[in-house]
Chain A
Amino acid sequence: MTGMDGQEFCQAVLVHIPRATAAEREAIRQELLEHLEDHQEALEAGGMDEAAAQERAVAAMGDAGEIGRQWNQRLSPLWLWVGRLCKGAAIVLLVVLLIRPGSILACAADNLQARWRDDPVESAIHPDAVWIKEMDLRVQLHDQVIRIHRVALVEDDWTDSQANRQGVYQLYVQALSYAQNPLRPALSIWGMCCNGEDGKQVGASLSPYNLRGADARTMAFPLEEGIPTAVLTFAPYGQAFATLSLPINWEEVSHAS
């Protein structure tokens, strides 16, 4: 005795028929159930009670696994492989969509890198820098965070020839922005000035408005020699939201010969 009812028996058969399409599985189930119904009815007509007739009918079918395996051998594996290939293609497509530039996963990866990596922007800040300082200063602007991680001073060659502007340096600020929510893109909310002077952007690694998780930029500001602290003011949309003080150690500056 199998102890299974008709539905359980059909399911036990179908488990062994992976090649069957959904429509074939339904047809197989229907045909087996009809057979069980006919047999059970014949047994009941012979005087057997319903439960015993049902059990006898299922038992007469034989081993569900063997039936399923025999059935499976007679089905073409084509649709099984078509189904597997479709599933594989769907998975590949999903992965590509998730990791492509601009996707949520790529955005989160950029964001986390900007948030936690010690050296989030590997490019050299300036080849002629006379003073470089690594730091990790962060300022929050709405849902975005701007992280300053490297500043440098560069002697301004152009001012050398201007008597009235001797001692002017360029303060290079390497920074990046990221959203507080790792799944949201970084917005270009740059609007920075230093000691009241508008900064000019000398290098931007990304587009002004991007959909990635981090926006890295290097900006340069003119800075008079000897000023102990550079005050960066973040004023996107023309309105100041935050300030950040950068101490400048002029004693460490190695003047170019």
Chain B
Amino acid sequence: MRQKQAMEHTSLVVLHLLSVADMYGYEMIAALEKRCDSTFTMKEGTLYPILRGLENSGAVTAYRQVSPAGRERKYYHLTERGRKQLAEETRQWRAYEGAINAVLSMG
């Protein structure tokens, strides 16, 4: 049985999603569901305070635009500062992941 994990690195995931394309909130949730096959679950509303925090730090900017479905939505765009933050958080995650793998590979 697959264990669902609480997502602790949401900002890393969000930054990565936005590095692919500008997206609006629900679009990010849908993309996450599709890519991770529900491995990660998150309360969808908690995405927005995270986006607000990223906006405050200058990692993302927001603008309104009509979506392909024909409705206007608030899109988020990854800035250059956001790309640097993504690189740093990815590096930290890799280091953490490597440390865990090293422990797990011990005989």
Contact = CB atoms under 8 A, between A and B. Distances in A.
A116 to B, nearest CB: 60
20 contacts: A13-B45, A27-B74, A31-B48, A31-B74, A32-B48, A34-B24, A34-B71, A35-B26, A35-B29, A38-B27, A39-B44, A61-B44, A62-B45, A64-B45, A66-B43, A67-B45, A67-B49, A70-B50, A71-B48, A74-B56
Contacts of A13: 45
Interface string A21-54: 0000001101110110111001000000000000
Interface range on chain A (Cβ under 8 Å from partner): 20 to 34
Nearest to A13: B45
A60 B43 contact: yes
Interface in A117-140: none
B98 interface: no
Contacts of B24: 34
B30 interface: yes
Contacts of A71: 48-49, 52
Nearest to B25: A35
A66 B44 contact: no
Nearest to A57: B44
Contacts of B30: 42
B56 to A, nearest CB: 6
B46 A62 contact: yes
Interface in B37-83: 43-46, 48-50, 52-53, 56, 71, 73-74
Nearest to B41: A60
A71 B50 CA distance: 8
Residue in B27, B45, B73 with the greatest tally of chain A CB atoms within 10 Å: B45
A5 interface: no
A70 B49 CA distance: 6
A62 B44 contact: yes
Contact of A75 (B26, B52, B73): B52
A38 B49 contact: no
A63 interface: yes
Interface string A62-87: 11101100110111000000000000
Contacts of A27: 74
Contact of A39 (B26, B53, B56): B26
A41 to B, nearest CB: 8
Interface string B1-44: 00000000000000000000000111101100000000000011
A73 B26 contact: no
A30 B48 CA distance: 12
B26 to A, nearest CB: 4
A74 B53 contact: yes
A77 to B, nearest CB: 13
A66 B52 contact: no
A66 B44 CA distance: 12
B43 A34 contact: no
B17 to A, nearest CB: 15
A73 B30 CA distance: 26
